[in-house]
Amino acid sequence: MKALLQFLLAFMVLISTTMTGFSQSVRTEEDDKEPSRVGYGLNIGNIRFYNRAFEFGLAPNVAYRLSESLSVGFMLKVDYFFQKYPIENAKFSAFDFGPTVFARMKPLWSWEDATPFLQGIFIQAEYEHAFLTRPFVYPDGSPVIGSDGKVEKGKVEEDFVYLGLGLSNGYPFSTFVSIHYNVLDDSQSLRFPFSYRIGFTYNY
C-alpha cells in the first residue's frame, strides 16, 4: 500500500508539472486562428476487492481529434495489484503496465436535435499489449514461497482488445463513465473480461 501511495504522489506531481507547462506555452498566430486538435485525459478504473486481493488502475492519455466526433490516441495503463495470503502470512504486490492505442467516436455529436446527454454517448475500441506480474501459486491457490521468504512471481505479456460504451458530460473539459469488454478473453486470461472506468478529458 505504501508503494501505491508513493506512485499516486509521483503521478500527481507529473500531471501538475505537465499542465503547468501547457498553460505557460506560447501560442503562435496560427494557433489563435485554429483551435488545437490535441487533447488529454485521465482514466480511473478497475477498483476491485476480492479474495483478499485489491486492484486499482490509472491511465493517463493523449488524443488527436480527426474530426469533431472522432479521436485517436495513446494511453498508458498502470494497474496496482495486491494479494494477501493469511495462512502463509505472506503478501504480494506489483504494478502492471499496458501501452494502449485507442479510437473514440461520438456518433450523435453532430446531430442538431440531440440533447447533451445523447451527444455525450461514445463508443471506443482499443488495443493493449500488457506487461503483467503475478504470483506463482500451487493448484490449491496457495503461494510458492522462495528461500527469501517472499512470494515467487512471474512476468507475463498478454494482449487485450476492448470494445466499450460510455457517456461523457461537458466540453471541452469532460467527465465520463464507461464499460469495456475484452473480446479476446479466455480461461487463461489474467484479467476479468469487463473493465469499468470513470475519467476526465480535455478537448476530445
Per-residue confidence (pLDDT) for residue 204, from 0 to 100 = 95
CA distances from 110 to 69, 115, 141, 177 (A): 7, 11, 52, 21
Q: What is the mean pLDDT of residues 8-13?
A: 50
Mean model confidence pLDDT for the chain: 87
pLDDT tens per residue across span 124-157: 999 999 999 999 999 988 999 998 889 999 999 9
Model pTM?
0.79
Q: What is the mean pLDDT of residues 14-33?
A: 49
Do the Cβ atoms of 133 and 155 come closer than 8 Å? yes
Per-residue confidence (pLDDT) for residue 16, from 0 to 100 = 47
Q: H or E element: which one contains 47? A: strand 38-50
DSSP string, 136-199: -B-TTSPBPB-TTSSBPEEEEEEEEEEEEEEEEESSSEEEEEEEEEETT--TT-SS-SEEEEEE
Which of 29-33, 58-62, 86-90 has the highest mean predicted lDDT (pLDDT)? 58-62
Three-state secondary-structure class, residue 112: coil
**pLDDT band with cut points at 50, 70 and 90 for residue 189:** very high
For residue 116 the three cell numbers come to 447533451
pLDDT tens per residue across span 74-124: 999 999 999 999 999 999 999 999 999 999 999 999 998 899 999 999 999
On the question of pLDDT at 59 being above 80, the answer is yes
On the question of pLDDT at 11 being above 70, the answer is no
CA distance 178 to 127: 16
Per-residue confidence (pLDDT) for residue 20, from 0 to 100 = 47
For residue 106 the three cell numbers come to 461520438
Q: What is the mean pLDDT of residues 54-66?
A: 97
| Selection from 173, 164, 174 nearest residue 195 by Cα | 164
Per-residue confidence (pLDDT) for residue 23, from 0 to 100 = 45
Q: What is the mean pLDDT of residues 16-35?
A: 53
CA distance 130 to 99: 7
For residue 185 the three cell numbers come to 478473453
